[in-house]
């Protein structure tokens, strides 16, 4: 099958851990690779965000990345990329004229906008144009609910995102919770499939090198340093943990900019450092900055527990990586984490924004090493059974096949005055 993936801000070539580079980059890279292993011809289209990038890169992983000139060839925050989507669409459509794919799978709502526009540019015969699949990764409706005025998404997202969901042939949700949200956005349930994200189970294994262990406990939290990841809750929980008699725990906050200067300049790091100082736990908290992907398994293996405490989480790859390494996970019971972490089996679930509940769960887990070890083992089994990229790719392939196999095509809904989606049903 000839497959195009569109990932406007999240290139598989990017360094992971910065503000806009996280799970989506990993997802697109791993899915592209696993689909290529299954014999598909995969091309990933992304925005050229660095002058030095060549127009096309063929990766040893078996797929190609096309860096489309769309906007300045430098990093631009993802929430400012919408004006460049027509140029991205034009670049994609130009490439497709040399041979259109059967399936175009977009990641994030703005890629969906570019994809719809590119298919429209190819011609109005929808039977000839690629079948469109869409993975949102995050939904604006959820973001708005949690972040309110702090949400920096362009205002167009409010109506363009549902429009994308209603216009594509299939929406691939990554967790059960997302299906309810999508239905609320007017996406027809019969056009939604659930395929989770995966984890590289050859890389994230329980055995292998580990970073040196501390004398006491090590708690790890990993991810982009944005408020919704709930790192503040983890920091606050350390004082509750001390009240429960555990004072010898250090917290590694992994992620953010690379290097000490980048961390010092990050307002979110300053906020978290001030918080640690206010609650009297500064000496226990270490900001490691961005950890390169290849070092991540060794970092995870050095932990007693990995905490994922977001307010909301479209999927969350970190718990799978921790489980792959045999580390128990304490996660807030939100979004994809409700599906991946089994309470009492592979870790513990807690409510979001609740430092006391987290302290209680940490104390329960750290004070019972046998239970923690058995949860770690259960995590390894769970990810190997359910979350390998080869299984995710096989499930994704089934979704593509069902789109190609005759289900009625979706026709793009006309948008008045948007400049996108020129032809209507």
Instruction: Provide the binding-site residues for ligand UDP, judged by CB under 6 A.
Output: 16-17, 22-24, 26, 222-224, 254-255, 290-291, 293, 296, 315-318, 321
Residue 334 Cβ, how far from ligand UDP at the closest point, in Å? 12
CB of 321 to ligand UDP, least distance (A): 5
In the complex, residue closest to ligand UDP by CB: 22
Could you give the residue ranges of the DSSP H alpha helices within 244-354? 260-265, 267-278, 296-301, 318-324, 337-340
- Angle ∠(178,382,205) on CA atoms, nearest 5: 115
Report residue 166 as tokens: 């209603």
Q: CB 20 → ligand UDP: shortest distance, Å? A: 9
Rounded distance between C-alpha atoms, residue 414 and residue 418, angstroms: 9
Nearer to ligand UDP, 26 or 231 (CB): 26
* Spatial CB neighbours of 125, under 8 Å, sequence gap ≥ 6: none
If the CB atoms of residues 222 and 348 are measured against ligand UDP, the closer one turns out to be 222
Name the minimum Å distance from CB 156 to ligand UDP: 22
> Cβ 168 to ligand UDP, closest distance in Å?
21
Sign, CA dihedral 383-9-81-58, equals negative
Give the closest residue to 410 by CA, choosing from 174, 165, 88.
165
| CB 256, min distance to ligand UDP, A | 7
Smaller CB distance to ligand UDP: residue 241 or 317?
317
Q: Which is nearer to ligand UDP, 165 or 336 (CB)?
A: 336
CB of 273 to ligand UDP, least distance (A): 17
Q: Are the CB atoms for 236 and 350 separated by under 8 Å? A: no
Q: What is the chain's percent helix, strand, coil content, to nearest 5?
A: 45, 15, 40
Cβ proximity to ligand UDP: between 2 and 293 the closer is 293
How far apart are alpha carbons 111 and 84 in whole angstroms? 11
- Cβ atoms of 31 and 63 closer than 8 Å: no
Q: Which is nearer to ligand UDP, 157 or 410 (CB)?
A: 157
In the complex, least distance from residue 108 CB atom to ligand UDP, rounded to whole angstroms:
11
- Residue 244's CB is within 10 A of a number of other CB atoms, namely 15
Q: Between residues 43 and 290, which has the closer beta carbon with respect to ligand UDP?
A: 290
**Which burial class, exposed, middle or buried, applies to 364 when counting CB atoms under 10 A from its CB (0-12, 13-18, 19+)?**
middle
The C-alpha atoms of residue 232 and residue 45 are separated, in whole angstroms, by 36
Nearer to ligand UDP, 223 or 328 (CB): 223
């Amino acid at each position: 099958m000839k497959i195009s993936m569109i990932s406007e801000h999240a290139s598989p070539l990017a360094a992971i851990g910065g503000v806009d580079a996280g799970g989506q980059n990993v997802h697109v890279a791993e899915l592209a690779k696993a689909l290529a292993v299954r014999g598909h011809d995969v091309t990933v289209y992304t925005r050229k965000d660095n002058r030095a990038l060549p127009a096309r890169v063929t990766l040893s992983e078996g797929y190609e990345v096309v860096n489309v000139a769309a906007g300045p060839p430098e990093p631009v925050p993802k929430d400012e990329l919408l004006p460049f989507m027509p140029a991205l669409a034009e670049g994609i459509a130009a490439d497709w004229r040399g041979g259109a794919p059967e399936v175009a799978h977009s990641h994030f709502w703005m890629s969906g906008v570019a994809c719809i526009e590119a298919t429209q540019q190819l011609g109005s015969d929808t039977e000839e144009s690629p079948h469109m699949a869409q993975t949102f990764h995050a939904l604006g409706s959820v973001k708005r609910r949690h972040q309110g005025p702090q949400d920096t998404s362009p205002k167009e997202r409010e109506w363009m995102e549902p429009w994308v969901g209603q216009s594509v042939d299939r929406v691939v949700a990554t967790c059960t919770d997302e299906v309810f949200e999508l239905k609320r956005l007017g996406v027809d349930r019969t056009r939604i499939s659930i395929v989770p994200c995966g984890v590289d189970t050859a890389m994230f294994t329980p055995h292998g090198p580990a970073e040196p262990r501390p004398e006491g406990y090590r708690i790890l939290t990993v991810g982009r340093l944005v408020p919704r990841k709930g790192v503040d809750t983890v920091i606050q929980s350390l004082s509750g943990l001390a009240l429960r008699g555990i004072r010898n725990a250090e917290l590694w906050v992994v992620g953010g900019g690379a290097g000490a200067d980048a961390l010092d300049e990050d307002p979110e790091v300053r906020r978290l450092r001030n918080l640690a100082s206010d609650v009297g736990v500064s000496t226990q908290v270490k900001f490691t900055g961005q950890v390169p992907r290849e070092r991540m398994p060794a970092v995870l293996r050095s932990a007693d527990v990995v905490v994922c405490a977001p307010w909301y989480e479209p999927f969350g790859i970190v718990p799978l990586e921790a489980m792959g390494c045999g580390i128990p996970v304490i996660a807030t019971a939100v979004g994809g984490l409700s599906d991946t972490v089994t309470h009492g089996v592979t870790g513990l679930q807690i409510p979001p924004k609740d430092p006391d509940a987290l302290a209680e769960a940490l104390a329960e887990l750290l004070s019972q090493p046998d239970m923690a070890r058995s949860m770690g083992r259960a995590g390894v089994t769970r990810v190997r059974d359910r979350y390998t990229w080869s299984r995710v790719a096989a499930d994704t392939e089934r979704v593509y096949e069902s789109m190609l196999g005759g289900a009625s095509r979706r026709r793009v809904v006309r948008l008045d005055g948007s400049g996108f989606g020129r032809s209507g049903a």
